[in-house]
Chains A and B, each alone.
Chain A
Amino acid sequence: MLSRTAGSLYWVGRYLERAEYLTRLIEATLRLAALPSSYGGAGNAWDSALAAAWMKPLHEELGRPGDEQGVSAFLTVDSENPSSIRVCLERARANARSVRTALTLEAWEAINGAWLDVQKFGTRLESREQLVQLIDTVKVAMLVFDGAAHRTMLRGDAYWFIQLGAAIERADNTARLLDVKYHLLLPHGESVGGGLDYFQWTTILRTVSALTAYRWVYRDAVQPLKVADLLILNTQIPRSLTSCYQEILRRLDQLAAGHGRRGPAHRLAAHGLGQLEGASIDRIFGNGLHEFLGNFISENNRLGNAIAEQYLF
Chain B
Amino acid sequence: MFGFEAAELAAARTVRPAYQPLRHWLEGSPRELMETRRRQAELFFRRIGITFAVYGDPDAAERLIPFDIVPRILAREEWTALEAGLKQRVGALNAFLADIYGKQEILRAGLVPPELVLLNPAFAMSQIGKRPVGDIWVQIAGIDLVRTDANQFFVLEDNARTPSGVSYMLENREVMLKLVPELFANLHVAPVEAYPEKLLETLHSVAPPGAGDEPNSVLLTPGQHNSAFYEHSFLADKLGIELVEGNDLFVRDDVVYMRTTEGPQRVDVIYRRLDDDFLDPLAFNPASMLGVPGLMSAYAAGNVTLANAVGTGVADDKAIYSYMPEIVKFYTGEEPLLSNVPTHRCREPEALAYVLDHLPELVVKEVDGSGGYGMLVGPHAPRATIEAFAAKLRAAPEKFIAQPTLALSTCPTLCDSGVAPRHVDLRPFVLTGTNGVQIVPGGLTRVALESGSLVVNSSQGGGTKDTWVLDD
Binding site for B on A (CB under 8 A): 1-6, 94, 97-101, 105, 108-109, 112-113, 116, 157, 255, 259, 311-312
Contact = CB atoms under 8 A, between A and B. Distances in A.
28 contacts: A1-B261, A1-B262, A2-B260, A3-B248, A3-B259, A4-B245, A4-B247, A6-B261, A94-B224, A97-B49, A97-B229, A100-B49, A100-B230, A100-B237, A100-B243, A101-B233, A101-B237, A101-B243, A105-B48, A109-B48, A112-B47, A113-B47, A157-B261, A255-B261, A259-B262, A311-B261, A312-B259, A312-B261
Most buried by A among B242, B244, B245, B247: B242
Interface residues of B, number: 23
Contact of B244 (A2, A97, A116, A259): A2
B258 interface: yes
A157 B261 CA distance: 9
A109 B244 CA distance: 22
Contacts of B261: 1-3, 6, 157, 255, 259, 311-312
B170 to A, nearest CB: 13
Most buried by A among B49, B223, B236, B247: B49
A67 B90 CA distance: 68
B236 A101 contact: yes
Nearest to B47: A109
B46 interface: yes
Interface in B365-379: none
A105 B237 CA distance: 10
A101 B224 CA distance: 12
Q: Which 9 A-B pairs have the closest CB atoms?
A: A100-B233, A101-B237, A311-B261, A3-B259, A101-B236, A6-B261, A98-B224, A259-B262, A101-B243
Nearest to A101: B237
Nearest to A310: B261
B371 to A, nearest CB: 22
A119 B236 CA distance: 28
Contacts of B243: 99-101
Most buried by A among B46, B224, B245: B224
Nearest to B262: A259
A109 B50 CA distance: 11
A116 B51 CA distance: 13
Contacts of A5: 242
Interface of B: 46-49, 223-224, 229-230, 233-234, 236-237, 242-245, 247-248, 258-262
B244 to A, nearest CB: 6
A98 B223 contact: yes
Given A4-B245, A98-B223, 5 more contacts: A98-B224, A101-B237, A101-B242, A113-B47, A312-B261
Contact of A97 (B224, B236, B259, B260): B224
Contacts of A116: 46-47
Nearest to A157: B261
A36 B247 CA distance: 57
Nearest to A100: B233
A255 B242 CA distance: 19
B49 A108 contact: yes
Given A101-B243, A112-B47, A3 B260 contact: yes
Contacts of B236: 101
A94 B48 CA distance: 14
Nearest to B241: A101
B356 to A, nearest CB: 47
A62 B260 CA distance: 40
Contact of B248 (A4, A112, A113, A259): A4
Contacts of A94: 224
Given A3-B248, A4-B248, A112 B49 contact: yes
A100 B46 CA distance: 15
A108 B48 contact: yes
A64 to B, nearest CB: 26
A68 B75 CA distance: 65
Given A101-B233, A101-B236, A1 B260 contact: yes
Nearest to A108: B49
B237 A4 contact: no
Nearest to A4: B248
Contacts of A100: 49, 230, 233-234, 237, 243
Given A101-B237, A105-B48, A2 B242 contact: yes
Given A94-B224, A101-B233, A2 B259 contact: yes
A312 B257 CA distance: 14
A190 B181 CA distance: 74
B47 A2 contact: no
Contacts of B48: 105, 108-109, 112
Most buried by A among B236, B248, B260: B260
Contacts of A113: 47
Contacts of B242: 2, 5, 101
A99 B221 CA distance: 11
A210 B291 CA distance: 50
Nearest to A98: B224
B370 to A, nearest CB: 25
Nearest to B238: A101
Contacts of B233: 97, 100-101
Contacts of B46: 116
A98 B222 CA distance: 11
Contacts of B229: 97
B44 to A, nearest CB: 10
